[in-house]
């Protein structure tokens, strides 16, 4: 069965265009409600969102759909994605829903669904929901069995305390000056509070959402402002979250960026020393730098790679018993604490090492030198350019040129007609040439 609505991370698109319309998300809620309305207990759904203007349109449509199926709804307002995952488990809800397009601009929005265990739904569950959306059988609740919607006013406090529990007992952030960029997104209230309550001096930025400025020139995908403020304020560290706070990028005291690969490597080393690392290494995606793989190998740890997408990282972690995984982009999954990427929990693990070692962030967190890596996106008009003989030969030639000192990753976007071409290796000039040759060949084949 071909997936019509769900992509690699829920449903996503331009707000008020299909499928991100009130009518379609109403059908989604009704179908998901039907799928998860199991057992004889009073059914509950937790709905959170980020700060996009379109959230005001989608939230009541989702709530109406679940209520019509006899499910109660707890509305938590703007809250990070990991907070909704945590609350779904904590409240013993049947389903958790996040209205967010993560790091995308405000014009986009999306729907992420979490099962009662707090994990994102499997492909099979998503396909089952899609099938129910296409059926003309809603199975509405009787009038006396309709659900109710309430506001869960203590949701921010619950999540703040949950995150603080991930910081080592007895350790404090006293004396640490932290710039926290909340991307004008879901964490604009809770993130500064977490670091302040643990003792840090906090300089919050990106905490004035207006519905249209989420991720705009701020946050984990646009770190210039955060890096600048670290230097201006003489801060010890900068932390940039994305719009729904499930990813995080750091900057050291000089404003130099530390990406998810550096963060995963640091946490792996720290947890290995504390004898709490499980699985014999970490799980990352095909995009993680070869430098990380080599660094872990020197620690006698493995780097297991999955397809791009934090859900695939989580699936492998659960199947094979790993407790650290993530993506270069800053999704860090620490299964000792949560079921999905959590920017705040990951940041606290890094800051714990900084405080324990008593050294500058640049000394503690820059743990390996990444090898040269280049990623280029190439648009194509249609067809299957990756199956063309010329493209296949260009990729094979690139692999031969890089040999054992590098690698190539080619993948199609799941949301647009774009092919992503990535290569890395010890020779940066060679890497650039390999990527350019493959991209040029794809462009030639596509335009023919």
DSSP annotation of 59: H
- Which tokens sit at 297? 């190998």
Q: In a 10 Å sphere around its CB, with 0-12 CB exposed, 13-18 middle and 19+ buried, how is residue 274 labelled?
A: exposed
| Rounded-to-10 torsion of CA 174, 242, 261, 161 | 40
Cα 50 to Cα 65: distance, rounded to the nearest angstrom = 20
102 given a catalytic annotation: yes
Q: Specify whether the CB–CB gap between 33 and 66 falls below 8 A.
A: yes
- Which tokens sit at 394? 């260009």
Q: Which residues face 72 on adjacent strands?
A: 44
Residues 6+ apart with CB under 8 A from 160: 190, 193, 194, 197
Cα 193 to Cα 207: distance, rounded to the nearest angstrom = 12
Taking each helix axis from N to C terminus, what angle separates 190-197 and 155-164, rounded to the nearest 10 degrees? 40
Angular region, 219: left φ>0, alpha ψ -120 to 50, beta rest: left
Sheet holding 237-241, edge to edge: 201-205, 177-181, 237-241, 248-251, 257-258
Catalytic residue chosen out of the listed positions 54, 100, 102, 446: 102
Q: Specify whether the CB–CB gap between 59 and 49 falls below 8 A.
A: yes
Cα 195 to Cα 241: distance, rounded to the nearest angstrom = 13
Cα 115 to Cα 125: distance, rounded to the nearest angstrom = 9
Q: Specify whether the CB–CB gap between 77 and 56 falls below 8 A.
A: no
Other Cβ atoms less than 10 A from the Cβ of 403: the count is: 11
- Which tokens sit at 357? 């070692």
Q: List residues with catalytic annotation.
A: 102
């Amino acid at each position: 069965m071909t997936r019509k609505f769900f992509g690699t991370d829920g449903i996503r698109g331009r707000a008020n265009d299909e499928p991100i319309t009130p009518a379609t998300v109403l059908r989604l809620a009704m179908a998901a409600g039907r799928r998860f309305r199991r057992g004889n207990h009073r059914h509950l759904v937790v709905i959170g969102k980020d700060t996009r203007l379109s959230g005001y349109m989608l939230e009541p449509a989702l709530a109406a759909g679940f209520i019509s199926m006899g499910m109660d709804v707890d509305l938590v307002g703007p809250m990070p994605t990991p907070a909704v995952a945590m609350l779904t488990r904590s409240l013993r809800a049947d389903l958790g829903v996040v209205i967010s397009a993560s790091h995308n601009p405000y014009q986009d929005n999306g729907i992420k669904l979490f099962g009662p265990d707090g994990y994102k739904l499997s492909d099979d569950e998503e396909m089952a929901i899609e099938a129910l959306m296409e059926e003309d059988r809603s199975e509405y609740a009787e009038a006396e069995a309709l659900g109710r919607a309430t506001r869960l006013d203590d949701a921010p406090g619950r999540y703040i305390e949950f995150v603080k529990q991930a910081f080592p007992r007895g350790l404090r952030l006293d004396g640490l000056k932290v710039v926290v960029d909340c991307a004008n997104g879901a964490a604009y209230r809770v993130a500064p509070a977490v670091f302040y309550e643990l003792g840090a001096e906090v300089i919050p930025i990106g905490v004035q959402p207006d519905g249209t400025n989420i991720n705009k020139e701020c946050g984990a995908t646009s770190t210039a402002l955060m890096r600048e403020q670290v230097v201006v304020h003489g801060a010890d560290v900068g932390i940039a979250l994305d719009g729904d706070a499930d990813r995080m990028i750091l900057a050291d005291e000089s404003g130099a960026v530390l990406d998810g690969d550096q963060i995963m490597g640091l946490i792996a080393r720290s947890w290995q020393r504390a004898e709490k690392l499980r699985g014999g290494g970490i799980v990352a995606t095909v995009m993680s730098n070869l430098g990380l793989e080599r660094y872990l190998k020197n620690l006698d740890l493995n780097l297991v790679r999955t397809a791009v997408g934090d859900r695939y990282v989580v699936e492998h972690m659960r199947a094979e018993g790993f407790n650290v995984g993530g993506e270069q982009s800053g999704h860090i999954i620490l299964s000792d604490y949560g079921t999905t990427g959590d920017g705040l929990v990951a940041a606290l693990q890094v800051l714990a090492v900084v405080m324990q070692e008593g050294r500058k962030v640049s000394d503690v967190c820059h743990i390996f030198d990444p090898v040269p890596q280049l990623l280029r996106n190439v648009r194509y008009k249609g067809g299957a350019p990756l199956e063309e003989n010329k493209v296949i030969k260009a990729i094979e030639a690139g692999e031969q040129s890089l040999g054992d000192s590098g690698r190539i990753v080619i993948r199609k976007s799941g949301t647009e007609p774009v092919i992503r071409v990535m290569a890395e290796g010890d020779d940066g000039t060679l890497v650039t040439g390999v990527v350019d040759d493959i991209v040029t060949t794809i462009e030639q084949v596509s335009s023919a």
